[in-house]
Structure 1
Amino acid sequence: RIGHMQRPALSAVAELLKPITWFPPMWAFGCGVVASGLPAEGRWPVIITGVLLAGPFVCATSQAVNDWFDRDVDAINEPQRPIPSGRMPGSWGLYIAVLWTLLSLLLAWQLGLAGFLAAGFGLLLAWAYSAPPLRLKRNGWWGNAACGLCYEGLAWITGAAVMAMGQWP
């Protein structure tokens, strides 16, 4: 049909966003919350928002970005993945990566300046890791540093920072 854009199935979107990868940054954010030494009482909305931001938003964005920019290699090595298999038609992988980036920033804004800046930095690294011209993943030092920082370090520090906002001397 002319003018009809095929949409991906929800299952293909979920597979693209790779929920199995969300746990480490969610856990790291929680560790940062605990490491802050501050009571969770009255802060549950911030904690839940941060956990969701770390996993289903920022980490999921990184997965979509990576799969979009790896689509040619995945067509050979991982043809069953959503983009090379055609279950994620056209440019939907890119659209989802951009949309999830924007949604992540919107959610991050709810965590104040520290949460927003941390998420912005993490998202910038996610795009730099996979997208040309930087494509940090091509270098073992830069690529691994970006992954380690985003999956664990940044989420941990952000958890502590958003808990402590307004309580620093």
Structure 2
Amino acid sequence: MSDSVPDPNTPPQPMPTAPADADKGAKARQLLGMKGAQPGETSIWKIRLQLMKPVTWIPLIWGVVCGAAASGHYIWNFENFFQALTCMFLSGPLMAGYTQTLNDFYDRDIDAINEPYRPIPSGAITVPQVTAQILVLLCGGIALAYGLDIWVGHEVPTVTALTLMGAFIAYIYSAPPLKLKQNGWVGNYALGSSYIALPWWAGQALFGHLNFTIVIVTLVYSMAGLGIAVVNDFKSVEGDSQLGLQSLPVMFGINKAAWVCVLMIDTFQLAIALYLVSIHQNFYAVLLVLLVIPQITFQDMYFLRDPLKNDVKYQASAQPFLVLGMLVTALAIGHRVIS
């Protein structure tokens, strides 16, 4: 029929680009260690990077910044800058990379259900290769921590001790027989405190003095980090349920766990704001409260309405305000030290 013959004067139509764009997005998510990736990567170095989940390094790097700010003694000069940068490399790529690789190693059965595209269950990397990566990252982290202690003249190797503590927590969080992540409360608090308190303590010890008050304040802040850790459990609820892991979404159900999560995030940040008022840092307390408000807004817009669908969107929207609040708190403490 004549209407089926193409017009030779009509220019060819461009092919749709959506699949290519989606493929690029999936590859980027895979490289960063995010949800929604695809299998098929062949570069061993990209696979190793994926295991280390670079997206998880940011809170630990930020924690070092907060510790330096809270010390009240950080000075902008060449030496201090490179000491801080070295500590960030220790906390992020080395120790967070160690933690995430170790976790993937012990979670390979769960990932085969929840995220089969991950490097180990997909067969992209062998178990001996993963074991070697864990050991290299751990030994590199301990060596760099000890080097930092020598660099700043610590009589007691505080940064090394904190690194060993973090490595131990990461191990008992992921590995049997303790496998803290099997318990939603204990496991998530171990994760939250490791991501907030430990790098803060390292930055504080590097440029000032780690004292009891800082330990308590950061451990309280880690209760908000517990809420953030719970957000990550929603993507794994199916596998956790099948394997008997008692994450909060499994224990309480999706909706109740979402409410527990947001209440933890908000309540303990507001408790820190009250602490700032008690030490006469009222301006910083107001700033912290103002940073909690958009978090509550995004909780209502995204997370509470559909935690399973909107967990990543909520984290991308709200988490920047939480980490800015950490810096506000650190600046308040540092201001008090020097005033």
If the length of structure 1 is used for normalisation, what is the TM-score?
0.89
Deviation at 1:8, TM superposition (A): 6.7
Q: How many Å separate the matches in 2 of 1:95 and 1:135?
A: 21
Counterpart of 2:51 in structure 1 is: 16
Q: How many Å separate the matches in 1 of 2:127 and 2:93?
A: 23
C-alpha distance after superposition, 1:121-169 (max 9, x if no partner): 011101110011110101122211211111011111210111126xxxx
Which one-letter code corresponds to 1:95 in the other structure?
A: A
Q: How many Å separate the matches in 1 of 2:127 and 2:69?
A: 43
Q: How many Å separate the matches in 1 of 2:199 and 2:176?
A: 25
Counterpart of 2:178 in structure 1 is: 134
Counterpart of 2:303 in structure 1 is: none
State how many pairs are aligned.
159
Match for 2:104 among 67, 73, 93? Answer: 67
Q: How many Å separate the matches in 1 of 2:100 and 2:46?
A: 15
Which one-letter code corresponds to 1:125 in the other structure?
A: I
Question: Does residue 83 of the first structure (1) align with residue 120 of the second (2)?
Answer: yes
Match for 1:46 among 69, 74, 83? Answer: 83
Question: Does residue 56 of the first structure (1) align with residue 79 of the second (2)?
Answer: no
Deviation at 1:75, TM superposition (A): 1.4
Match for 1:121 among 134, 157, 165? Answer: 165
Name the one with the larger helix percent. 2
Which one-letter code corresponds to 2:148 in the other structure?
A: L
Deviation at 1:30, TM superposition (A): 0.7
Q: How many Å separate the matches in 2 of 1:9 and 1:59?
A: 19
Secondary structure of the structure 1 residue equivalent to 2:171 = helix
Secondary structure of the structure 2 residue equivalent to 1:110 = helix
My pick for the range that moved more, 59-68 or 71-80, is: 71-80
Structure 1 residue ranges, 4+ long, deviating more than 6 angstroms after superposition? none
Secondary structure of the structure 2 residue equivalent to 1:85 = coil
Secondary structure of the structure 1 residue equivalent to 2:165 = helix
What is the alpha-carbon root mean square deviation over aligned residues?
A: 1.5
Which one-letter code corresponds to 2:70 in the other structure?
A: A
Q: How many Å separate the matches in 1 of 2:132 and 2:178?
A: 20
Deviation at 1:74, TM superposition (A): 0.9
Q: How many Å separate the matches in 1 of 2:165 and 2:76?
A: 25
Q: How many Å separate the matches in 2 of 1:128 and 1:96?
A: 18
> Is residue 8–residue 92 contact of structure 1 (8 Å, CA) maintained in 2?
no
Structure 2 segments unaligned to the other structure (5+ residues): 1-41, 150-156, 210-339
The alignment-based identity, stated in percent, is: 37
Counterpart of 2:311 in structure 1 is: none
> Is residue 8–residue 88 contact of structure 1 (8 Å, CA) maintained in 2?
no
Secondary structure of the structure 1 residue equivalent to 2:126 = coil
Deviation at 1:44, TM superposition (A): 2.0
Q: How does 1:144-159 map to 2 (within 5 A)?
A: 144-159=188-203
> Is residue 8–residue 87 contact of structure 1 (8 Å, CA) maintained in 2?
no
Counterpart of 2:130 in structure 1 is: 93
Q: How many Å separate the matches in 2 of 1:89 and 1:8?
A: 13
Match for 2:141 among 93, 104, 108? Answer: 104
